[in-house]
Every structure is written in structure tokens, then in C-alpha cells.
């Protein structure tokens, strides 16, 4: 990034325009201000000219920088990028503070106080309804969603704090207790989300009625207090941080599409109140770098956008604003991530797990369907010596024994040398990493890796036939993959194998070959933490469309699209692939029984393997029972449930699946209506931990549409969602 800045001293009478309580550093010695105009060329397809004021004392100034990580991603460990950016800014002599608003959002929701507050709101809303008139369309959907949450609310109020405690303590390693806690947490998030229109905020996702593929919808969401759960929460917390810290520059990381609306919500609110320049970086900025400048309002929402690996760019920018000559850029591979601002014991795992990056980009970089590695400038790997040194320092600073390497794909030779150095240094560390199932992962390499703390390897095999492997240009084969699984099992390394169903040209029989591959390798799939993840193919931006036999449908109304609809020239279409992927995943889970023994989510399975190694995880199925209390409603939940389930099964599978399912249902079934009357519901007693939801049963009915039901009624609402990848 190149910056040309011209400063104009405001003169002796130009004082800080911020209130003293906002800019405390200027109370005793009022600063003078420079008017700065920055021309930013950052690969966004044009030049952005931003004008703002920055404080100045003499020729150089120590800048205070506030870095923000907004919702939404899994709150399991801190995100790495801002820890690296902070390390770079500290190296340059600036001050920096990092706040994780994603973690704070989950902590805000997942507590009994919030459950009480939200259930009271929902109860007041339900009781305000007229029980004589049917509810139509979106009103009927809102009633169904909020009423089912209300029936479950008493149980959630009583148990949410205990469920969160399971995730933070050794109870996490009791799989029965874990399943119960997971269920209660997801239900609590569903209750909270139900108040915000069609929004669905879960443990692993955020879906709204607004499409992140449409810039206008992103901006509209920023002021929609009905649908946006981040208004009045993260913007308030960020305002408090700005007031207390008085930063000169703010940086917001946007790593995932789920973060776009929260990030722009933050930026819009902060820009209204504070004269502080705000910049955006992260992998989503990189993916959208050529499109942002073509969307005027979006382009102006931040003072600048920094694509690719932005720690050096951002450091140069901060230096320039401080009228400094920039230091020589440090190699980011030599920067020790700085996690000192993170509340590491508050993440939803019983052990501290820290991310670490030993290489950038992908050394292979040829898979035709993949574009993730393009968010890096180019491939390069750090040294084993510096990596081990950093791990040792992080281990001593934070008491961390578990590391998640977030490399695109660690090379086998590096893994062998790394584990040998860890073993030689006597470090008690466990680690997991992504890798290609290449023949270089030999038995000798895997033995050494296990001795040096490797506990989980995530492999993208992606296809179970050699023909599709060649079409994908994977550079791997099934024979090598089977041998790697065997060697991993011998060393009690948990392998996760990822498969894709529906690559353009793939037939149903070729997709079902995944099941045959699993059957042929069952003896290698008994290690704690082993899993298979089967997903339907997604056509993503910047992948090699020309090398895939499909017609990609680009919608000009969605310039920020990351996922695209497509029509293959042969083989499975999008809908068939999605349904078949679910079928195959279900059959694989049945064969391996993995989902009945331990969690499947990456970091969680990693911890289970580190904890149990070759022992069978314990499981205690002893949970708090519901009180049996009946909730009285003025409309029939069960009649609505049947209509909604039917409509849900008919929703098309396309990129719009990244919108809220509730919003898609509202558009698909506008004629849906409720049945008024007097209906009583309660939670089922003695439910199974394998049931994803807290099931609702009918307790008593008074109404024209139903006969009176007794306490043993067996009509039950359950399984509105698919089983989560826990």
C-alpha cells in the first residue's frame, strides 16, 4: 500500500474538538491538529481520498490504536490476525488495544440474566396477541418461533449458567454432559435470536434476512433495530472502549461473510460519534477488493480498506499518520502474536487453545474449486526454529498447551522437523493442523509428529474416486489417503477427512463411493476425535471456473456474492448434491459411530483426543429434568409446526441458503395461518441427549380444531434443525 499524505498545521488556535472525557490525553496539554489527506491505493481498483484530523505533537507521535474483532464466528479461541497486527504496531512503538466483541456478544447472550430479560419480552409479546383471529404469514412464523422459545425458556433460565460451566470445566470431557450443554446453549441462542425478526444467530453461524451479497442490504441492516441484534450491544460496548481508551485510529477485522453486517454496523455508529479514522482489513476485504470501490456508499463506510495481509500496510499507515518514517517491515513470520488483551479463560473450551500460523498461502495452490489461499499475498513458510521458539514463549506467557495451526496446509517435512524440535525442547504441547493427504506423510513422519505433540490432522480428500480427484487437480490419491489413515490410527492421531459431494460432473455413484471408502477403512477410524465431514459443492468467487464443467450464474444485483448458483453440464445438480451430501454424512456417522462418542467440531475433537488418547470417552446421561410446567398459548403450535416442516422440506438449495431460513420460509409460505384457541405445552420429561432440541409435547388443548388431550399426549415438536457439527 502506498500513502501520500500532506499535512497542514491548524495553528495555535486549533485545539482538539473531542470532548475532554473522550480525549483524556489532551486535558492537561491540549494538542494541536494536522489536517491530513491520505491517498490510499490498496488494490481496490481505485484511489480513495480520505480527509480527517489526527493529533500531533512535534514531528512524531505515538498513536493509540484500537483493534476490534466483531461477531460472528465460533467463540472457541481468539482470532489470530489482530494479535499479529498488535505485535507489529507495538514493534513500531505505538500503543494498541484489542477487543473481541464476538466473545463478548456470546457472553452477553449465554447467561441467566439475558434469558430472563428475553423471555419476559417474548411473554409480553405473546400475551398481547388476540387469540380470536388467525395469524397470517410472517406473523404466524414469528408466533411459532417465539412461542416455542417461550415454552423452553424456564428450563433455559434454570440451566444456561450450568451449561456454560460445562464448556469451561473438566465436565466438557464427559460426552453426555457435553451433549446436554451444547443443546442448552443452542436453545438459548435460538431464544435470543427469535426476538430479532428472522435473524438466526447460532454457535457456528449468523443468518439474517439481509443478504451479505448485496451492499445496499448490508447498509440497510445497519439501522434495522428489529432484525439487527448488534444494535445497542456491540456498538455500545465499542463506544465505551473509545471513550475510555481515546484511540487515534480504529481497525476492524472482517474475516468472514457473517461479520460484514456487524462490522458495518460498528463503523456506521462510531463514525457518527467520533472523529477517528476507521479502517477495515481481513480476508473478506481481500475477497471483495475489486468490488468495494464500485459500490459508493460501501466504499465510503470506512476511511480505507486494507486487503491481503495487512499488518505491514496498517503499520505503514499508522506511521504515516504519526508523521514517522516507517520502520523496515518485519517478516510477519517472525512476529510473536500478542494475545495479552484477550480474556483467554472466557472462550468456550476448558483449555486455552491458541491459533498459530507457520506458513502463509498454500504450497500446492492448484485445486480448481478453491480460492481460499488467494487471500494471502504469496506462499512462504517460517522456520522451524522460530516457530518452536514462539510456541515456547506463548506456552510460558499464557499457560497454553494446545495450539491450532491455521496454515492452509502444513507440509510433511515441516511437521516432522517441528515435532522433532518440540520433542527435543521438552515442551509439553499438543497441536492440530490442516494438511494434504500426500504420500510424503509417511509412517515415519507420522510417528515423529505424534511424539512431538500432533493430535489431529485435517485432510481435504474431497473425492472418493480417482476420476474426480483428477478433475479437481488434487495431486492426491485414495491409496495414499488410506495408508495415511492407517498410520494415524497406529499413532492415535485423530484424522478428519473432508469430502465434497457434487463437484461438477460427479455422478451419484461417484459421490456414494465416499461410503465405500469409509467401509474399507473402518479399522483405521477408531481413534478418539476421528471424523468425516461431507458437504455439498459450493462454487466460490475467484476459483478456476473455466476448469469446471458448469455454467456459473452471476447475479449483477449481488456484487458481493462469494457463493454462486451454477448448472453443471452433467452429473448432480445443486439440489441433488445438497440432499445427497446429507444422506452420505448420515450414513458415514452411522458407520463410524463418531457422533455418539465425542464432539466433531475441530477444536473440540482435538481436545478430546489430547485428553483421552486411546481411552474411550466417558459418558454420563444424567441431566436436570424439566419442571413439567405448562405454558398456555392462544394459537396451535403443532398445526403450525406441520405446515412449517412441509414448507421447509420444499425450500430450494441455492446460494440463498446463506440467508435466514426463517426469512426464506416467510417468502415461500405467505399464506400460512395459525389456528386460534387455548393450548397448553410443556417440555418432554426424560428426553434423550441425542435429541438436538428440547422437545415440546402437547399438555392440554381447548379448541375447536382438536379433541381434549391428556398429559401423555405423544405429539412432539423436535428436530427443527439438522444435527450440528459438534
Yes or no: say if 269 and 87 are a contact pair by the CB < 8 Å rule: no
**CATH number 3.40.50.2300 is the correct assignment for the domain at 2-105+222-334:** yes
Q: CA 469 to CA 681: how far, in whole Å?
A: 52
What's residue 389's pLDDT? 97
Q: Is the pLDDT of residue 463 over 90?
A: yes
Tens of pLDDT, residues 401-438:
999 999 999 999 999 999 999 999 999 999 999 999 99
Over residues 429-453, mean pLDDT: 97
What's residue 132's pLDDT? 77
What's residue 25's pLDDT? 39
Of the two residues 720 and 89, the one the predictor is more confident about is: 89
Over residues 583-587, mean pLDDT: 96
Q: Is the pLDDT of residue 619 over 80?
A: yes
Over residues 347-373, mean pLDDT: 91
The answer for residues whose C-beta is within 8 angstroms of residue 340's C-beta and 6 or more apart is: 397
Mean pLDDT of the chain: 87
What's residue 474's pLDDT? 93
**Out of 281-290, 321-330, 698-707, 708-717, least confident range:** 708-717
What's residue 332's pLDDT? 53
What's residue 693's pLDDT? 76
What the block records as the C-alpha cell of 421 is: 524440535
What the block records as the C-alpha cell of 476 is: 492426491
- Rounded to a whole number of angstroms, the distance between the first and last alpha carbons of the chain is 40
Three-state SS for 571-607 is CCCHHHHHHHHHHHHHHHHHHHCHHHCCCCCHHHHHH
For residue 587, give the nearest of 524, 653, 513, 642 by alpha carbon.
513
What's residue 360's pLDDT? 87
Tens of pLDDT, residues 9-44:
333 233 343 333 333 333 333 343 344 444 333 434
**Alpha carbon 218 to its chain's center:** 18
3-state secondary structure of 95: strand
Over residues 601-613, mean pLDDT: 96
Tens of pLDDT, residues 325-346:
665 555 555 789 999 999 999 9
What's residue 37's pLDDT? 41
Q: Is the dihedral of CA 37, 266, 227, 287 positive or negative?
A: positive
Q: Is the pLDDT of residue 605 over 60?
A: yes
What's residue 380's pLDDT? 81
What's residue 308's pLDDT? 86
Strand partners, 6: 37
pLDDT band at 85 (very low <50, low <70, confident <90, very high): very high
Yes or no: say if 277 and 311 are a contact pair by the CB < 8 Å rule: no
We find that the CATH architecture of domain 351-611 is: Alpha-Beta Horseshoe (3.80)
What the block records as the C-alpha cell of 596 is: 455418539
Q: Is the pLDDT of residue 130 over 90?
A: no
What's residue 701's pLDDT? 59
**Out of 35-44, 359-368, 570-579, least confident range:** 35-44
Over residues 264-269, mean pLDDT: 98
Q: CA 337 to CA 86: how far, in whole Å?
A: 8
Q: CA 7 to CA 323: how far, in whole Å?
A: 9
Percent of the chain with pLDDT strictly greater than 70: 85
Q: Where are the domains of the chain?
A: 2-105+222-334, 112-204+623-717, 351-611
Tens of pLDDT, residues 270-316:
999 999 999 999 999 999 998 998 998 999 999 999 998 888 889 99
What's residue 323's pLDDT? 77
What's residue 333's pLDDT? 57
What's residue 327's pLDDT? 59
Strand partners, 716: 697
Q: CA 693 to CA 696: how far, in whole Å?
A: 9
For residue 259, give the nearest of 237, 291, 282 by alpha carbon.
282
pLDDT band at 113 (very low <50, low <70, confident <90, very high): very high
Q: Is the pLDDT of residue 669 over 70?
A: no
What's residue 429's pLDDT? 98
pTM attached to this predicted model:
0.89
Place of cell 451479497: 213
Yes or no: say if 428 and 401 are a contact pair by the CB < 8 Å rule: yes
Strand partners, 272: none
pLDDT band at 397 (very low <50, low <70, confident <90, very high): very high
Amino acid at each position: 500500500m502506498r500513502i501520500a499524505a500532506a499535512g497542514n498545521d491548524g495553528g495555535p488556535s486549533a485545539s482538539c474538538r473531542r470532548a475532554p472525557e473522550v480525549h483524556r490525553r489532551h486535558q492537561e496539554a491540549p494538542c494541536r491538529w494536522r489536517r491530513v489527506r491520505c491517498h490510499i491505493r490498496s488494490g481496490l481498483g481505485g484511489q480513495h481520498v480520505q480527509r480527517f484530523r489526527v493529533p500531533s505533537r512535534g514531528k512524531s507521535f505515538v498513536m493509540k490504536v484500537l483493534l476490534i474483532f466483531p461477531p460472528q464466528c465460533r467463540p472457541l479461541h481468539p482470532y489470530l490476525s489482530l494479535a499479529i497486527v498488535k505485535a507489529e504496531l507495538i514493534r513500531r512503538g505505538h500503543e494498541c488495544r484489542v477487543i473481541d466483541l464476538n466473545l463478548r456478544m456470546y457472553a452477553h447472550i449465554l447467561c441467566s440474566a439475558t434469558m430472563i430479560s428475553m423471555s419476559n419480552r417474548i411473554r409480553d409479546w405473546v400475551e398481547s396477541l388476540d387469540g380470536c383471529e388467525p395469524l397470517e404469514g410472517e406473523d404466524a412464523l414469528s408466533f411459532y418461533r417465539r412461542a416455542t422459545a417461550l415454552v423452553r425458556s424456564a428450563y433455559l433460565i434454570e440451566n444456561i449458567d450450568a451449561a456454560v460451566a460445562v464448556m469451561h470445566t473438566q465436565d466438557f470431557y464427559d460426552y453426555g454432559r457435553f451433549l446436554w450443554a451444547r443443546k442448552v446453549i443452542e436453545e438459548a441462542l435460538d431464544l435470543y435470536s427469535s426476538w430479532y425478526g428472522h435473524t438466526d444467530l447460532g454457535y457456528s453461524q449468523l443468518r439474517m434476512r439481509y443478504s451479505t451479497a448485496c451492499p445496499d442490504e448490508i447498509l440497510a441492516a445497519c439501522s434495522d433495530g428489529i432484525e439487527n441484534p448488534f444494535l445497542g450491544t456491540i456498538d455500545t460496548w465499542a463506544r465505551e472502549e473509545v471513550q475510555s481508551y481515546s484511540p487515534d485510529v480504529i481497525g476492524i477485522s472482517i474475516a468472514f461473510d457473517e461479520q460484514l453486517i456487524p462490522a458495518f454496523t460498528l463503523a456506521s455508529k462510531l463514525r457518527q460519534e467520533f472523529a477517528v479514522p476507521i479502517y477495515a482489513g481481513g480476508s473478506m476485504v481481500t475477497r471483495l477488493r475489486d468490488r468495494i470501490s464500485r459500490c459508493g456508499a460501501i466504499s465510503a463506510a470506512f476511511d480505507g480498506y486494507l486487503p491481503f495481509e495487512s499488518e505491514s500496510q496498517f503499520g505503514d499507515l499508522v506511521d504515516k499518520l504519526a508523521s514517522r518514517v516507517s520502520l523496515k517491515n518485519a517478516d510477519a513470520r517472525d512476529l510473536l502474536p500478542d494475545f495479552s488483551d484477550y480474556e483467554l479463560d472466557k472462550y468456550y473450551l476448558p483449555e486455552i487453545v491458541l491459533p498459530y500460523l507457520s506458513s502463509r498461502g498454500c504450497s500446492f495452490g492448484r485445486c480448481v474449486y478453491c480460492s481460499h489461499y488467494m487471500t494471502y499475498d504469496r506462499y512462504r513458510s517460517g522456520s522451524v526454529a522460530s516457530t518452536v521458539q514462539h510456541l515456547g514463549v506463548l506456552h510460558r506467557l499464557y499457560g497454553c498447551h494446545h495450539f491450532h495451526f491455521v496454515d492452509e496446509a502444513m507440509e510433511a517435512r515441516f511437521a516432522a522437523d517441528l515435532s522433532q524440535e518440540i520433542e527435543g525442547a521438552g515442551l509439553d504441547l499438543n497441536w492440530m493442523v490442516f494438511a494434504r493427504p500426500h504420500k510424503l506423510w509417511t509412517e515415519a513422519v507420522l510417528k515423529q509428529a505424534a511424539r512431538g505433540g500432533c493430535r489431529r490432522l485435517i485432510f481435504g480428500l474431497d473425492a472418493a474416486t480417482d476420476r474426480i480427484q483428477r478433475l479437481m487437480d488434487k495431486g492426491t490419491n485414495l491409496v495414499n489417503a488410506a495408508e495415511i489413515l492407517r498410520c494415524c490410527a497406529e499413532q492415535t492421531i485423530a484424522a478428519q477427512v473432508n469430502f465434497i459431494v457434487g463437484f461438477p460432473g460427479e455422478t451419484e455413484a461417484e459421490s456414494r463411493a465416499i461410503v465405500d471408502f469409509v467401509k474399507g477403512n473402518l479399522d483405521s477410524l477408531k481413534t478418539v476425535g476421528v471424523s468425516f465431514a461431507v458437504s455439498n459443492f459450493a462454487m466460490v468467487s475467484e476459483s478456476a471456473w473455466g476448469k469446471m464443467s458448469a455454467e456459473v450464474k452471476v447475479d449483477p444485483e449481488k456484487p458481493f456474492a462469494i457463493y454462486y448458483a451454477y448448472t453443471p453440464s452433467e452429473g448432480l445438480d445443486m439440489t441433488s448434491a445438497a440432499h445427497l451430501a446429507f444422506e452420505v454424512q448420515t450414513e458415514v456417522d452411522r458407520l463410524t459411530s463418531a457422533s455418539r462418542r465425542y464432539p466433531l467440531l475441530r477444536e473440540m475433537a482435538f481436545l478430546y483426543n489430547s485428553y483421552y488418547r486411546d481411552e474411550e470417552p466417558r459418558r454420563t446421561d444424567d441431566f436436570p429434568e424439566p419442571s413439567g410446567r405448562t405454558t398456555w398459548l392462544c394459537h396451535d403450535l403443532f398445526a403450525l409446526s406441520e405446515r412449517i416442516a412441509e414448507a421447509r422440506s420444499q425450500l430450494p438449495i441455492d446460494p440463498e441458503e446463506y440467508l435466514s431460513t426463517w426469512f426464506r420460509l416467510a417468502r415461500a409460505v405467505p399464506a400460512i395461518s395459525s389456528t386460534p384457541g387455548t393450548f397448553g405445552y410443556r417440555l418432554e420429561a426424560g428426553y434423550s441427549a441425542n435429541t438436538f432440541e428440547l422437545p415440546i409435547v402437547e399438555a392440554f388443548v381447548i379448541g375447536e380444531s382438536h379433541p381434549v388431550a391428556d398429559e401423555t399426549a405423544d405429539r412432539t415438536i423436535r428436530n427443527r434443525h439438522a444435527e450440528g457439527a459438534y
